[in-house]
Chain A
Amino acid sequence: MGRYVVRRLLQMIPVFIGATFLIFVMVYALGDPVSALFGDRGPDPATAKALREEFNLDKPVWQQYLLYMGKIFTGDFGTAFNGEPVTALMDRAFPISFRLMVIALVFEMLIGIALGVITGLRRGRSLDTSVLVLTLAVIAVPTFVLGTTAQYFLGVEFGWIDPAVSPEARFDELIVPGLILSLVSLAYVTRLTRTSVAENTRADYIRTAVAKGLPRRRVTVRHLLRNSLIPVVTYLGADVGTLMAGAIVTERIFNIQGVGYQLYQGILRQNSPTVVGFVVVLVLIFLLANLLVDVLYAVLDPRIRYA
């Protein structure tokens, strides 16, 4: 197990380097960001040159990349155009998005799995059909439609929530945005769990457990659910990264100054330190989440062993 984890961690290094280099090249390929800083006015050549030097934009891309990576390991992620270190932006943005992600994930796990188990055990009944139709609707409607509709009705018409989340982004303010963010994934989790549960109810070990005379609850939770969760956990693990980065739409609607917001600003203003810095952290989160998922397999199914 320990050796397995170490091996996996080592494998992350090339993935990490490859991903960051790709992002770096992509941002670089968008062109020179300095002239946009001057607005509709033509850039002053001398000031533009000074700015390019400051942000290392006058060097070839591979050299910029090496300089950048070299600094990253000392904890220096460069400076955004507004003069702030990128690490300061991260300090603010990641905790907020992380909280939003956790809320979304909890919704997915609690509601998604519960609905999945219930519908999986009642295949073909009216409850099953209606939940299926509902999940289909959620998947089909774009998040921004769901988000703005919820915001308008809950925020303006009924006045139950504030339409915009405050800069502190407290837990209670994030519940509705978190739910909106989780909805699509929640629908998938429901469907995944349902299929998995439905398949496993006919498995031999379930029949054995029932034949042994174990109580129904115990059969469902201990035997059926645990074995059915493997595909769901895989999905949830991959979803952690997606939720953090994919919150751009939700964060915009509810005015949450998280990762999505900073990434959006960074891309719009072609600020490579911001974009690359945030993506680097996102890549790490994604890799670690996947590692955690693989380790969890063994917890769920002891037959899975790591060499």
Chain B
Amino acid sequence: MRGSIRTRLISAVAGVVAAALTATACGGGDGSGGGGGGSFVRASWGDPQHPLEPANTNEVQGGKVLDMIFRGLKRYNPETGEAEDAMAESIETDDQRTFTVTIEDGWTFSDGTPVTAKSYVDAWNYGAHLDNAQIASYFFQFIEGYDEVHPADENAEVTADTLSGLEVVDDHTFTVRLTEPFSLWPETLGYAAYAPLPRAFFDDHEAWLDKPIGNGPYKIDSYRRSQSMRLVRYEEYAGDDKARNDGVELRVYTDNNTAYTDLQAGNLDLIDDVPASQLANAESDLGDRYINQPAGIIQTLAFPLYDKDWKGEDGAKLRRGLSMAINREEITAQIFHDTRTPATDFTSPVLGEAGGYRDGLCGDVCSYDPEGARELIEEAGGLPGGKVTITSNVDTGSHRQWMDAVCNSVNNALNDTGACTVNPVPTFADFRNRVTGHEMTGMFRTGWQMDYPLIQNFLQPLYYTDASSNDAGYSSEEFDRLIDEANAASEEDEAIEKFQQAEEVLTEDLPAIPLWYQNGTAGHSERLSDVKLNPFSVPVFTDIKVD
């Protein structure tokens, strides 16, 4: 009897041990030898939200990789943000509408196949086509025939397979016809969605997604989804910005606090997002290895202009009053440790004066003036129902903290502790559903990260009548007219001036309050030098040197 009990106990224990050993065996086998020896940059990474395809990426983590493995027609200068020719030899037009694109000879994809005009046309047709459900397909909306391959109405049928505005002339030339004049269109072509795609992408899509092939300064050596990616320098790269290191090892971190700790412990070389909780220490921890510089991101508070309480002249007064009640200086310093800059226009400092950024354009409306705020709001008949709310998702960022601070600021200015309250929404998805469903009754957060460093990108998608991200439901004939004129202008200076006039209309109507420009933050180890962030707050990996 005793013996049999012992046997049973032993077999139970043995079972557990065996299971444990099996589990270990599963994981231990496929180690890639790890270690980024040599002159590899070990950098933190986040799991991309979508499969890595040029036209299916709209967030910074996937964009980071696309920027390393692809070069399109243009590239944005990492320092000035200006669009410079990359693969393009020339992009010519007489009427701002039909463009002839000539690409440089000698470029190859990392599988050895040459990059031709067809590589572009095929890629763009793929990106635009509804059946491929690409998140960023709207980038092709300016090209003639977009409505046929990607009807705007959700019940309409696709009536064409390819964009009628694209035509291959020869191996190195193709033409693009837009639906209407857009003088700055060539400058949008640095965006990743416009990258060329190799034949392999279409021949074996699954295999390509497992290990994407591009024509950029790096090629992917190995990719383990949601874990890590190893990129090595592409020796045949034809561009000017060849990599100055052997490669980059991107490691997925589930929490950027851990990445920061790993940087401190010397196991990581580069993080491109210093966690909010460490901002106060970053300067003393890292010294000049802490980078804090402007990025093309602006945070605004929009109003539901579709709600009767916010309409008309009184509504505009209310909006101006609320804007003046917010102490931007104090909030950016105390909550964000100067990683935000109080906003004084609707664009971003990364555009530079030449690109259309104008410091102080918003004037008194965007500066803190509690007295003036109180007067304006009283003139308008007080807040609707005596109070206002701020709505945002609170699952990421430090949204909760700054919303509380903004509300406090408003309450102090109005001498009413109940004037402003925060309405936190648990998830981003839920928040966006409410915003796009026009369910807002008070102020709500509208952040904008630019797609390309052009003033047009800060205005048209956000405030043009029925534009894709016009969450406020704003509509102004004058604004629309000025945008149209700007797009049709043949000279860049003229275009930018028109855009700025349109922006002045915004400061009058104030469909949204500019809050602050967001900076990119980064930190790196002593092994690295020449680390900088581009206007998209992504590290310029090709320039990094490893000691």
A32 B433 Cβ-Cβ under 8 A: yes
Q: Does A254 contact B (CB under 8 A)?
A: yes
Residue count of chain B within 8 Å CB distance of chain A: 73
Distance of A48 Cα from B50 Cα, bound (Å): 14
Distance of A152 Cα from B468 Cα, bound (Å): 45
B137 A253 Cβ-Cβ under 8 A: no
B226 A36 Cβ-Cβ under 8 A: no
Distance of A163 Cα from B23 Cα, bound (Å): 23
Say which one of A67-75, A122-130, A193-201, A260-268 lies at the interface with B: A260-268
Q: Does A213 contact B (CB under 8 A)?
A: no
Q: Given contacts A99-B27, A168-B27, is CB(A257)–CB(B226) below 8 Å?
A: yes
A-side contacts of B131, CB under 8 Å: 50
Q: Given contacts A171-B24, A299-B8, is CB(A83)–CB(B209) below 8 Å?
A: yes
Distance of A258 Cα from B370 Cα, bound (Å): 51
A-side contacts of B468, CB under 8 Å: 41-42, 44
B-side contacts of A256, CB under 8 Å: 254
B23 A257 Cβ-Cβ under 8 A: no
Chain A residue nearest to B2 (CB atoms) is A222
B-side contacts of A43, CB under 8 Å: 436
| Residue from the list A40, A50, A170 in contact with B446, Cβ < 8 A | A40
A82 B58 Cβ-Cβ under 8 A: no
Say which one of A8-16, A88-96, A183-191 lies at the interface with B: A88-96
A37 B135 Cβ-Cβ under 8 A: yes
A-side contacts of B448, CB under 8 Å: 40
A-side contacts of B9, CB under 8 Å: 299
Residue count of chain A within 8 Å CB distance of chain B: 67
Q: Does A278 contact B (CB under 8 A)?
A: no
B26, B48, B133, B137 pick with most chain A CB within 10 angstroms: B133
B430 A30 Cβ-Cβ under 8 A: yes
| Residue from the list B133, B254, B262, B471 in contact with A42, Cβ < 8 A | B471
B-side contacts of A51, CB under 8 Å: 133
Distance of A132 Cα from B493 Cα, bound (Å): 76
Q: Does B354 contact A (CB under 8 A)?
A: no
Distance of A102 Cα from B133 Cα, bound (Å): 42
Say which one of A113-121, A134-142, A154-162, A202-210 lies at the interface with B: A154-162
Q: Does B160 contact A (CB under 8 A)?
A: no
B-side contacts of A40, CB under 8 Å: 432, 446-449, 469
B433 A102 Cβ-Cβ under 8 A: no
Encode contact with B along A23-51: 1 for CB under 8 Å, 0 otherwise.
00000001111011111111111111111
B5 A168 Cβ-Cβ under 8 A: no
Q: Given contacts A31-B430, A164-B261, is CB(A38)–CB(B255) below 8 Å?
A: no
| Residue from the list A41, A95, A264, A299 in contact with B469, Cβ < 8 A | A41
B34 A166 Cβ-Cβ under 8 A: yes
| Residue from the list A44, A81, A156, A302 in contact with B5, Cβ < 8 A | A302
A168 B30 Cβ-Cβ under 8 A: yes
| Residue from the list B134, B258, B395, B446 in contact with A254, Cβ < 8 A | B258
Q: Does B482 contact A (CB under 8 A)?
A: no
A162 B267 Cβ-Cβ under 8 A: yes
B23 A99 Cβ-Cβ under 8 A: yes
Q: Does A151 contact B (CB under 8 A)?
A: yes
Q: Does B202 contact A (CB under 8 A)?
A: no
A84 B225 Cβ-Cβ under 8 A: yes
B224 A167 Cβ-Cβ under 8 A: yes
Distance of A31 Cα from B153 Cα, bound (Å): 22
Q: How far is the CB of A249 from chain B (nearest CB, A)?
A: 10
Distance of A31 Cα from B228 Cα, bound (Å): 31
Distance of A66 Cα from B320 Cα, bound (Å): 52
- Which residues from 117 to 164 on chain B have a C-beta closer than 8 Å to any C-beta of chain A? 130-131, 133-135, 137-138, 150-154, 156
Q: Given contacts A45-B153, A162-B265, A162-B267, is CB(A264)–CB(B135) below 8 Å?
A: no
Chain B residue nearest to A148 (CB atoms) is B257
Encode contact with B along A262-287: 1 for CB under 8 Å, 0 otherwise.
10110111100000000000000000
Q: Does B360 contact A (CB under 8 A)?
A: no
Q: How far is the CB of B50 from chain A (nearest CB, A)?
A: 6
A167 B227 Cβ-Cβ under 8 A: yes
| Residue from the list B12, B30, B130, B254 in contact with A47, Cβ < 8 A | B130
Q: Given contacts A35-B436, A41-B461, A299-B5, is CB(A255)–CB(B258) below 8 Å?
A: yes
A-side contacts of B257, CB under 8 Å: 148, 253
Q: How far is the CB of B296 from chain A (nearest CB, A)?
A: 13
Chain B residue nearest to A94 (CB atoms) is B23
Distance of A88 Cα from B210 Cα, bound (Å): 12
Q: How far is the CB of A56 from chain B (nearest CB, A)?
A: 14
Q: Does A61 contact B (CB under 8 A)?
A: no
A-side contacts of B251, CB under 8 Å: 164, 167
Distance of A42 Cα from B24 Cα, bound (Å): 45
B-side contacts of A264, CB under 8 Å: 254
B1, B23, B471 pick with most chain A CB within 10 angstroms: B23
A163 B258 Cβ-Cβ under 8 A: yes
- Which residues from 406 to 432 on chain B have a C-beta closer than 8 Å to any C-beta of chain A? 427-430, 432
Chain A residue nearest to B21 (CB atoms) is A102
A-side contacts of B436, CB under 8 Å: 35, 42-43
B-side contacts of A162, CB under 8 Å: 262, 265, 267
Q: How far is the CB of B265 from chain A (nearest CB, A)?
A: 5
A46 B152 Cβ-Cβ under 8 A: yes
A-side contacts of B58, CB under 8 Å: 38-39, 41
A81 B253 Cβ-Cβ under 8 A: no
Q: How far is the CB of B90 from chain A (nearest CB, A)?
A: 31
Encode contact with A along B382-403: 1 for CB under 8 Å, 0 otherwise.
0000000000000100000000
Q: How far is the CB of B271 from chain A (nearest CB, A)?
A: 12
Encode contact with B along A239-251: 1 for CB under 8 Å, 0 otherwise.
0000000000001
B226 A89 Cβ-Cβ under 8 A: yes
| Residue from the list A50, A151, A261 in contact with B254, Cβ < 8 A | A261
B27 A170 Cβ-Cβ under 8 A: yes
Q: Does B111 contact A (CB under 8 A)?
A: no
Q: Does B47 contact A (CB under 8 A)?
A: yes
Chain A residue nearest to B448 (CB atoms) is A40
Distance of A3 Cα from B135 Cα, bound (Å): 54
A-side contacts of B30, CB under 8 Å: 168
Q: Does B264 contact A (CB under 8 A)?
A: yes
Q: What are 23 A-B contacts defined by CB distance under 8 Å?
A: A32-B433, A36-B433, A37-B49, A37-B50, A38-B58, A39-B59, A39-B449, A46-B151, A82-B51, A89-B226, A92-B227, A98-B20, A152-B261, A163-B267, A167-B251, A167-B252, A252-B258, A257-B254, A269-B429, A299-B5, A299-B8, A299-B12, A302-B1
> Which B residues are within 8 Å of any A CB, using their own CB?
1, 5, 8-9, 12, 16, 19-20, 23-24, 26-28, 30-31, 34, 47-51, 58-59, 130-131, 133-135, 137-138, 150-154, 156, 209, 224-228, 251-255, 257-259, 261-262, 264-265, 267-268, 395, 427-430, 432-433, 436, 446-449, 461, 468-471
Given contacts A35-B433, A47-B130, 18 further A-B pairs with CB under 8 A are: A31-B429, A36-B432, A37-B49, A37-B50, A39-B449, A43-B436, A44-B468, A45-B153, A46-B156, A50-B133, A95-B27, A98-B23, A102-B16, A151-B258, A156-B264, A156-B265, A167-B252, A264-B254
